[in-house]
Amino acid sequence: FKATDLEDFYIKISARNPSPGAIADFLNLKQKEEPLKLHKAENLQNDHCPVYVNGASKIAITLASCCTPIPGDEIVGYISHGKGVIVHRKECPNIADKKRLIDVYWKENIQKGNYPVDIKIVCSDRNNLISDVMSAFTQKGVAVTALNAHLNQSKLETVVLATIFVSDALQLRDVFDALKNIKSVLSLSRVTH
């Protein structure tokens, strides 16, 4: 192919002179001639998203990071500018324009997944509190990716903020029940950013 060196040969290939077919012919590579088979897409819905919008199959749907909806929560879709539908929990305070809300639904056969949930635990301060909280998470089989505890000296209360991963609202209720059984826990809530 009249190339002076390997680099020159690569430059010629990038310019399509020689063509890939000419290189294959030179190397005596035989091409299999099989008819091209086209398949019609059966399901246009995003299989990775656990939520759908009735009558809309080609729309981007994402779960909001502010209120972290999980399967089992009551949800609503917010039509955003250029980002498709963003799914929020119905009580999310970040939904500004109520005119842009649409009905969205959890898919019935959702594959088991892990969804992040930020929670806040307010407790009377005592020894081994964090150890008991972590034991409850371990007992319920939830992963903890962030944990932050802060002591309020004036009230003698510890506020624990945690990010945990749960499969659905039922598992979250189960985790909350385990946390309520810990001595000195005063309140539990989900955090909305």
Distances (CA, A) of 186 to 20, 43, 64, 121, 191: 71, 48, 28, 8, 16
pTM over 0.95: no
Residue with tokens 């999980």: 70
State the pLDDT at residue 30.
66
β-pairing, 143-152 vs 157-166, is antiparallel
State the pLDDT at residue 42.
40
Give the gyration radius of the chain's Cα atoms. 27
pLDDT tens per residue across all 193 residues of the chain: 888 887 777 777 767 777 777 777 787 776 666 665 544 444 444 557 899 988 877 789 999 999 999 999 999 999 988 888 999 999 999 988 888 899 999 998 877 789 999 999 999 999 999 999 999 999 999 999 999 999 999 999 999 999 999 999 999 999 999 999 999 999 999 999 9
**Helices assigned H by DSSP within 27-180:** 129-139, 169-180
Cα separation, 23 vs 161, in Å, equals 62
State the pLDDT at residue 73.
96
**Helices assigned H by DSSP within 15-168:** 20-26, 129-139
